[in-house]
Structure 1
Amino acid sequence: MSLFAEFHVPSEDFALSSTLGRLPDLVVEIDRVAAADELLTPYFWISDVDLDEFEAAAGADPSIEDLRRLDDFESASLYRATWTENVDTMVYASTQAGATILEAKGQRGVWNIRIRFDDREPLESFQEYAHRFDITYDLVKLYETEHPRTGSQYGLTEKQHAALDTAWEMGYFEEPRETTLDEVADELDITRQSLSQRLRRGHHALVASTIRVTPLAAEKA
């Protein structure tokens, strides 16, 4: 039975604290976190800030190193970095517990984070680790699932589920497409940028909850 937890965490207990402090309008959204050779590599989107200013601030931020810009997508840019070894943060607490960070958004010194735990044991390990290193967090919501049949059970928020469902119903994912991003956004009464971000985060949540956790079926002869 999977458990989903939503937290509010001060930036000093997660990542990019000095960067978020220097750039109050900056929005950072974690896309995914890769782990290799005991190093954690976050991929994250940044928006609402000048890229040169961001890179200057992030380059001096002690929580990350090896910052690299990978891609640009409309009004957001994708970066990759390496988290420095800092055990007393939410990042390492979740890693040590074997949990998965599904969504993390940082702005104005606070991160909103959603984490999936396989069951209660890793959740308890996470809480023990956070207590041991005095990691500050507010648990906003905790809910559990048994059967992956609804959007939330795939790690989707209600808004991401609505965006994906509406886009599918309107033929956005058909080839050729039967509608445009602007038309789907109008249907949902949101901006094109908001829709694009919801679709991107929704795709990530689906992959994290299905492809990344489900073994590949054996091919039939």
Structure 2
Amino acid sequence: MSLFAEFHVPSADFALFETLDRLPDLVVEIDRVAAADELLTPYFWVSAVEIDEFEAVAEGDPSIEDLRRLDDFESASLYRATWTENVDTMVYASTQAGATILEAKGQHGVWDIRIRFDDRDPLEAFQKYAQRFDISFDLVKLYETEHPRTGSQYGLTEKQHEALNTAWELGYFEEPREATLAEVAAELDITRQSLSQRLRRGHHALVANTIRVTPLAAEKA
């Protein structure tokens, strides 16, 4: 039975503290984190601010280096960078406990982080590790489920999975469409912009974790 914990972590104890402090409207959502050469390489989405302004501020932020913009979409841009200060400790606190960071969203100087634990033992190990290294966090929600439907095996967050599944069930992907973006958003009780972002990022995750990693089957004669 998996445990899901949601934490509030001050940006000063995680990432992009100076950038989030200087750009109060900025929203940063971590897409995934890859480990390479013992460095933590995050992929994250930036929205709600001018991209040029974000890049100018982020270039001087001591918590990241090697910032690189990978793609631009209507309402967000995808970046890759290398974490430096503070982030290693938080991420390694979860990996040492055998946990998985599912979502991380930074806004208004605070990161909302959602972590999955196999059971209570790794949760307790995470808390002890965090206390040992003086990581500030507030546990705001803890719940369990025996059969989570997150689509995480394809790199999807729970919200992306829900958005894609609901859009499919309502016929949004049919030709002609049986439901509009606004109708799907109303069903999920979110804005059209939020739904558009979840669908786009969900598609990105599906391609990255299926087509990009699976060789094409040979055509049959």
The reply to whether TM is greater than 0.5 is yes
Asked whether the 8 Å contact 1:156–1:206 carries over to 2, the reply is no
Matched-pair contact (CA < 8 Å) for 1:88–1:130: no
Tell me which residue corresponds to 2:59: 59
Q: Is the 8 A contact 1:87 1:93 kept in 2?
A: no
Corresponding residue number in structure 2 for 1:12: 12
In structure 2, stretches of 5+ residues that fail to align are 215-221
Per-residue CA deviations over 1:123-175 (Å, capped at 9, x if unaligned) read 22211210111100000111222234x45998855x65653333012223346
Q: Is the 8 A contact 1:164 1:202 kept in 2?
A: yes
Secondary structure, counterpart of 1:62 in structure 2: coil
Equivalences, count: 209
Aligned to 2:163: 163
Work out whether residues 30 and 103 of structure 1, in 8 Å CA contact, stay in contact via their aligned partners in 2.
Answer: yes
Could you tell me which residue of structure 2 aligns to residue 27 of structure 1?
A: 27
1:121-132 matched pairs, under 5 angstroms: 121-132=121-132
C-alpha change, 1:79 and 1:152, in structure 2 (3 Å) is: closer
Return the alpha-carbon distance in structure 1 between the equivalents of residues 186 and 147 of structure 2.
Answer: 33
2:82 equivalent in structure 1: 82
Q: TM-score of the superposition, structure 1-length normalised?
A: 0.79
Please, what TM-score do these two structures have when normalized by structure 2?
0.79
Rounded Cα–Cα distance in structure 1 between residues aligned with 2:52 and 2:152: 39
AA of the residue aligned to 1:116: R
Answer yes or no: is the 8 Å Cα contact 1:156–1:205 preserved in 2: no
User: Does residue 109 in structure 1 map to residue 93 in structure 2?
Assistant: no
AA aligned opposite 2:172: Y
Secondary structure at 2:164's aligned position in 1? helix
